Amino acid sequence: MSGTVRRHDASAAPLARRRPDESLRTTLRRLGIAQKGASGAPAYSRFVNRKLGRLLAAVAFQAGLSPNAVTGISALFTFSGVALLALAAPSWPVGVCVSALLVVGYALDSADGQVARLRGGGSPAGEWLDHMVDALKIASLHLAVLIGVYRFHGAHGAQLLLPLGFSVVAVVHFFATLLNESLRAQHGANTRAASGSGRPSRVRSLLVLPTDYGVLCFVFVLLGAPVAFLWVYGLLGLATAGYLGLACIKWFGEIGRLAA
């Protein structure tokens, strides 16, 4: 499961202060002009979720919400979806509700850092809270799938290993991404330069789309068709595992060159 790992914009250049008469359209325009790059981000996260987050960030900013409040609202949506996934008998309506909750939670997860920029910059505590919520989300989502599959589908054996394996892959991918950022920052390496491209590639964004957390959110619509859901869910897990294996080889080489 690949989501765009974002900093809470503590180090990003803050935007100009809001004027008392600033409209929602003006706030959106300021965010659009100052939008950070999305090098390496999968297509949904880059082209859809970022824009949804921008809209929600502008609304939250106009309402006077703090970045931490937006993070809290994001967690409320996300973990409501996770709980529904584990506790409710699967059906088409439940699947639609789970997907909607996760999609809104993901968009708000993109919005909190943008709100921080609008308010003059984030904080280390805000970044910590943001990443802790992300870590809990990634660790719990696939375990909720495991519980639901066991309770309502009577799954056993290899079927139960599927969400367990996906959970391991998702957690390792999240940790590796944060670790890469931390080590590159310690050695003064430019993240975009390390990726080998000064401009984000649209082709690459499409190629890694199966690893996108946003795509995974929509897969839960299929809860009403258990066999189809498990097949699509399993294929996404396999694609993410394959991507992680190849990426680790690349990352190990890049990190190894930092000492030089």
Per-residue pLDDT tens digits for 1-49: 545 455 444 445 555 455 556 788 778 887 776 665 555 688 899 889 9
Per-residue pLDDT of the chain in tens (260 residues, 90 and over written 9): 545 455 444 445 555 455 556 788 778 887 776 665 555 688 899 889 999 999 999 999 989 999 999 999 999 999 999 999 999 999 999 999 999 999 999 999 999 988 988 887 778 999 999 999 999 999 999 999 999 999 887 777 778 899 999 999 999 999 999 999 999 999 887 655 444 445 557 888 888 888 999 999 999 999 999 999 999 999 999 999 999 999 999 999 999 998 77
> Which pLDDT score, from 0 to 100, does residue 19 have?
54
CB 37 within 8 A of CB 200: yes
> Which pLDDT score, from 0 to 100, does residue 196 have?
46
> Which pLDDT score, from 0 to 100, does residue 1 have?
53
Q: What is the pTM of this model?
A: 0.87
> Which pLDDT score, from 0 to 100, does residue 10 have?
41
Q: Phi and psi (nearest 5°) for 212?
A: -75, 130
Task: Give the helix ranges, DSSP H, for the chain.
Answer: 24-33, 43, 50-62, 67-87, 92-118, 124-153, 158-186, 191-194, 202-207, 213-219, 226-258
Q: Which CATH class is domain 24-258?
A: mainly alpha
CB 249 within 8 A of CB 37: no
